[in-house]
Amino acid sequence: MVPQDTRKKGIRPRHAHVGKIVHPQDAKNVLDTGVNLWFPGPQSFTGEDMLEFHVHGGNAVVSSILNALSTVPGVRMAEAGEFSRRAFDNDKMDLTTLEGVSDLINAETEAQRKLAVRQAHGELFRMYEGWRVKMVQLRAQIEAYIDFSEDENIEDGVYTQVCLEAKKLADAIRAHLNDKRQGEILRNGVALSIVGPPNSGKSTLLNKLAQRQVAIVSPIAGTTRDIVETTLDIGGYPLVVRDTAGLRKASSDVIEMEGIRRAVEAAQEADIRICMVDAQQALDCTNKPSDSFLQNAEWQALLDLPHTFVVLSKIDTLKSTDGIQAAAQAWAQSQRINNRIVPISCANMFGWESLMQLLADDIRTAWGTSIAQQMPLTKTRHRQHLQQCLEHLDSFESIGEDMVVLGAEELRGASRALGRITGKVGIEDVLDALFSEFCIGK
C-alpha cells in the first residue's frame, strides 16, 4: 500500500513523499493524500523495515486506512508497546531507555519531561553500562589470576589492584544511591499533605489549588474523614496534594478518629506539609480554639519536620489586613513556631502568589537543583538491583586473597545485578510489565 505517484519510481529511504494513498485491493479507491516515509532496517526505530503514513487525523480517514491495511496478508495491529519491544529485541535501546520513553509518554509536568528525556537519551544507560563493563574487566582479571596465578606472566599485586577498583565502583554506586530518592519523588510527584484543625480551610485550599471541586467544603466539623488526593503542576514540578481529616483531640465517631490517625500518618510520610490555622481564631486574643492543635505533642511534632509551612487561612474574615504579616509573626513567636508563616485568603486570593512561589522554590531547591547536575535514580527497580550489586561488592571486599574463587563469584553476582537494570540478563517479567503501560503500537 504505497502512494500512487511512487509506483513507477522507487521510494527513497528517509525522504518524505507526498501522494495519494490508495486501497491495495482497488487502485481507484483513494483513501487520502498524505506523507509517506520509508525506513529500511536496521536504520529505523525498531531495527526492521518500517513505512510510516502521515495522514489526516479524522476518524473516518484513519479507520479506512487501518481497514485497508488489514487486507494485506501478514499485516496486523501492533500490540501495546510492540514497536519498543522490537527495538529492544534488536538492540536499538536498552531497558532504562525504554523506561525513559514510557515516562516521557506519561509525563505531565516540565520537570518530569526533562527527566524522562535525559533517561530516554541514554544518560542512565551510559552510567550503568560503564559500571558493568568495568565489573566485567575486573572479573576477567580475577579469572586470569585464578587460572594463571603461578604463571610468571601474572604481575604481582593484581588482586590488590582489583580490590581497589572494586571499592571505587562500590563508592560510586553508594553515592548514587544516596540521593534522598529525588528522582523517584520527581517522577511520581512531590507529596504535599494539608493538615490542621477542623474548618481551618483545608478542603477549600485543595479545591483552589486544583481549580475544581475535589473535596466537600462544609461548616460541619469532621466532613473530611478519609484522604482526598489530586495531582497538580506547580512551577513545572509534579505535586500530589492530599487533604486530610481535621485534627482534634477527641471525637465519639470511630470513623473520624481513624481519619485523624490517617491524617497524621500521611503528614509524617509527606515530602511537604501545610499546617492550616484559622487566622481569625489564631489572632483573636479572646478566642483561640485552634491553639489546641498546637498543644498536642504528636501534632506539634509535625511542625518540626523539614519542608513544613504554616498557613493562616481566611484572612478575609479579619476586620483589617493592615500589618497582617507582623501580626502573624508575633502569633508564631507566642506559639514558639519557627516555620515560615503565610497568611492567605482563598476568597479574595490574598497571599496566593506568595504561597505558590514558596512551594515552587522549596520543591526546586530540595529536589530540582541536584538533579540538574547528575541523572538520578527514577525507579525502585533500579535501586533494588543497585543495592544487590553493592552487597556483592561489599562481600567481595571482605573476602581475602586466599578465597579468590569466592571473590570471583561475588563479582559475577554484582555484574549480573547491573545487567538486570539495563536488560542484559533475566528481565522478561519486567518487560511484560513495562510494555503493558505503553500505548497501542508504541
For residue range 143-174, what is the model confidence (pLDDT) as tens digits? Answer: 877 776 665 555 667 888 888 999 999 999 99
Burial letters 265-283, b for 16+ CB under 10 A, else e? ebbeebbbbbbbbbbbbbb
- Arithmetic mean of pLDDT over the chain: 81
The whole-angstrom separation of Cα 365 and Cα 38 is 46
pLDDT band at 91 (very low <50, low <70, confident <90, very high): confident
Whether the predicted pLDDT of 430 surpasses 60: no
Over the stretch 92-107, which tens digit does the pLDDT of each residue have?
888 899 899 889 988 8
Whether the predicted pLDDT of 393 surpasses 90: yes
pLDDT at 334: 79
Segment among 153-162, 265-274, 372-381, 408-417 with least mean pLDDT = 153-162
Sheet holding 50-54, edge to edge: 17-23, 26-39, 50-54
Place of cell 540478563: 425
Segment among 106-110, 223-227, 312-316, 435-439 with least mean pLDDT = 223-227
pLDDT at 164: 92
The whole-angstrom separation of Cα 360 and Cα 95 is 32
Helix (H) or strand (E) holding 193: strand 190-195
pLDDT at 389: 94
Over the stretch 236-292, which tens digit does the pLDDT of each residue have?
888 888 887 767 666 666 776 777 778 888 888 899 999 888 888 777 654 454 445
pLDDT at 329: 84
Query: In terms of Cα–Cα distance, which of 204, 198, 221, 222 is closest to 314?
Result: 204
Beta 17-23 vs 26-39: how paired, if at all? antiparallel
* CA torsion through residues 297, 302, 308, 312, sign: negative
Over the stretch 120-140, which tens digit does the pLDDT of each residue have?
999 999 999 899 888 888 888
Bridge-partner residues for 240, per DSSP?
A: 191, 231
Whether the predicted pLDDT of 320 surpasses 90: no
Over the stretch 17-52, which tens digit does the pLDDT of each residue have?
999 999 999 989 999 999 999 999 899 999 999 999
pLDDT band at 7 (very low <50, low <70, confident <90, very high): very low
Query: What whole-number percentage of the chain has pLDDT above 90?
Result: 25
pLDDT at 287: 47
Side chain identity at residue 20, one-letter code: K
Contact 392, 408 (CB under 8 A): no
pLDDT at 60: 94
The whole-angstrom separation of Cα 315 and Cα 158 is 72
SS (H, E, C) 360-425: HHHHHHHHHHHHHHCCCCCCHHHHHHHHHHHHHHHHHHHCCHHHHHHHHHHHHHHHHHHHHHHCCC
* Interacting residues of 390 by C-beta distance below 8 A, sequence separation 6+: 170, 173, 174, 177, 414
Could you tell me which residue, 343 or 441, shows the higher pLDDT?
Answer: 343
Does a cis peptide bond (omega within 30 degrees of 0) precede residue 42?
A: yes
Beta 50-54 vs 272-278: how paired, if at all? unpaired
Query: In terms of Cα–Cα distance, which of 11, 76, 70 is closest to 38?
Result: 11
pLDDT at 439: 56
* Interacting residues of 34 by C-beta distance below 8 A, sequence separation 6+: 3, 18, 19, 21, 53, 54, 55, 56
User: Taking residues 58-63, what's their average pLDDT?
Assistant: 92
Side chain identity at residue 404, one-letter code: V
Could you give the C-alpha distances from 365 to 12, 215, 305, 411, in angstroms and in order? Answer: 50, 30, 16, 38
Segment among 198-202, 364-368, 434-438 with least mean pLDDT = 434-438
Rounded to an integer, what is the distance from CA 166 to the centroid of its chain? Answer: 30
Query: In terms of Cα–Cα distance, which of 120, 6, 64, 3 is closest to 378?
Result: 120
Side chain identity at residue 369, one-letter code: T
The whole-angstrom separation of Cα 186 and Cα 363 is 9
pLDDT at 289: 44
The H helix count followed by the E strand count for the chain is 18, 9
pTM of the model: 0.70
Q: Length of the chain in residues, anyone?
A: 442
Over the stretch 196-245, which tens digit does the pLDDT of each residue have?
888 888 888 888 887 766 544 444 444 454 567 788 888 888 888 888 77
- Give me the phi and psi of 19, to 5 degrees please: -175, 175
Beta 50-54 vs 190-195: how paired, if at all? unpaired
pLDDT at 8: 45
Rounded to an integer, what is the distance from CA 73 to the centroid of its chain? Answer: 42
The whole-angstrom separation of Cα 199 and Cα 219 is 6
Contact 421, 95 (CB under 8 A): yes
Grid cell in block for residue 318:
479579619
